[in-house]
Amino acid sequence: MSMSKILIGIPVYNEANYVQEVLDEVRIQGHDILVVDDGSTDETPMLLAQQPVEVARHAVNRGYGRSMQDMLRWAACGGYDWLITMDCDRQHEPASIPKFIERIARNDADVISGSRYLDVACGSDAPPPDRQSINRDITSELNARLDLSLTDAFCGFKAYRIKACASLPLDVDGYDFPMQFWVQAVASGLRIVEIPVRLIYNDPTRTFGGPLDIPAERRRHYEQTLHQEIGRCLDRLPVSSAAGLDLFVGSLGES
């Protein structure tokens, strides 16, 4: 099999503390890099100008999901076979990129998703309790509705086969982007696998911004997006997707 053409995509927003160090480490991997600066107001734009990488900049903050859409479109237009996405806050290790490359080489998946919970030996940092609880519960609902076996629905360290993913009608701009993506991936019959990555929380005090900083509001927001997308794709999803759609939400507990 010929070598895959791979793009590393990194969304950033006010990451002046980390962006130089992260990009220095990612460049060692030898792949093309695209940084989407989502309207940073700190020194991030100036620091990016000093880096030999492609940069797409939003004039204002448009959200994580919009950055993901932009990276997928860029990869498709650039003729890339795969897009590997990772965060720029030191919670994703550039040294783990070869793990994704190795899995890509097996040519048996369309989405390779990092999981911070697949192998507890990969890391020992404790996530904030509300994030761990919401991740666990939403992941459980996704699995039940979509016949998946995910252990971590929210990890942004992923590899996307462009031929399979570029045509998905993705339009969710915020942190709820994974809810839409997983539904569409299943509706389109994509092959999904997980690989372990380290669980790292350098700054548990980092916020989402606005109402999403309130755990109950964040959970409700994720559930609403998930259920709306299931409704849109219902005719292409497992029968279990629609069962008790309204009742399932009430069974979720913060714990």
Domains belonging to the chain, first-starting first, are: 6-250 (3.90.550.10)
Q: Is the pLDDT of residue 251 over 50?
A: no
Q: Are the C-beta atoms of residues 65 and 170 closer than 8 Å to each other?
A: yes
Please give the model's pTM, rounded to 2 decimal places: 0.90
Name the pLDDT band for 247 (thresholds 50, 70, 90): very low
DSSP state of 128: P
User: Which residue did the predictor score with more confidence, 131 or 98?
Assistant: 98
Residue 98: predicted pLDDT: 96
**194-221 residue pLDDT tens:** 999 988 766 666 777 788 889 899 999 9
Residue 189: predicted pLDDT: 97
Percent of the chain's residues with pLDDT above 90: 76
User: Which residue did the predictor score with more confidence, 244 or 222?
Assistant: 222
| Among 33, 29, 30, 35, residue whose Cα is nearest residue 16 | 35
User: Which residue did the predictor score with more confidence, 106 or 244?
Assistant: 106
Residue 205: predicted pLDDT: 66
**63-94 residue pLDDT tens:** 999 999 999 999 999 999 999 999 998 888 99
Return phi, psi of residue 43, to 5°.
-85, 5
Q: Are the C-beta atoms of residues 145 and 103 closer than 8 Å to each other?
A: no
